Amino acid sequence: MEGMYKVCEVKLTYSTKVKSSERACIASSLDAYQFLIKHIYDSETIQYREYLKILLLNRGQKVLGVVPISEGGIDSTCADIRIIMQAAILGNASGIILTHNHPSGNLQPSKLDDVLTERLRDAAKLFDIRLLDHIIISDCGYYSYLDEGRLL
């Protein structure tokens, strides 16, 4: 009977094939935007629907990985703070950058974007993980919460 009620556990294996010296370094919102456009977002679908992703970074601001969180419709997507934090913790991240695209090309954040940013910042603090930025991108540019002074 005891075995049936034993608490389940998550096992973690940390393995990497990439040397630290080979990882991209994100020192600014422009670096993040250029990395995202070059390596992560598909130019053929960036205007099609919203995609929410997180960049996991180490203390040296080097990219540990990119985690797709959700794929939405033409003007919204779903974000679960627990899924984001789980990815950050299991990925051994010291910092995260939240990113999503606006298919319309309008780079201004919505009220929902603001609420998500605030909630994620507060949740990350509990785990000593820094929300470094929330970047909204389109095929014609980007908006950075950090650059606009909105991540204090």
Token pair belonging to 147: 């650059």
Q: What local confidence, expressed as pLDDT, does residue 11 receive? A: 67
Give the domain ranges of the chain.
29-144
pLDDT of 142: 96
Alpha helices in the chain (DSSP H): 29-35, 81-90, 111-126
Q: In angstroms, how far is CA 103 from the centroid of its own chain?
A: 18
Please identify every stretch of the chain with a pLDDT value under 50, giving residue numbers as ranges.
Answer: none
Residue 13's pLDDT is 64
Which of 152, 96, 92 has the alpha carbon at shortest distance from 124? 96
b/e per residue 52-81 (b: at least 16 CB within 10 A): bbbbbbbeebbbbebbebbebeeeebebee
Query: What pLDDT score does 5 carry?
Result: 81
| 49/76 Cα distance (integer angstroms) | 8
Indicate the class that CATH gives domain 29-144: alpha beta
Enter the pTM of the model: 0.86
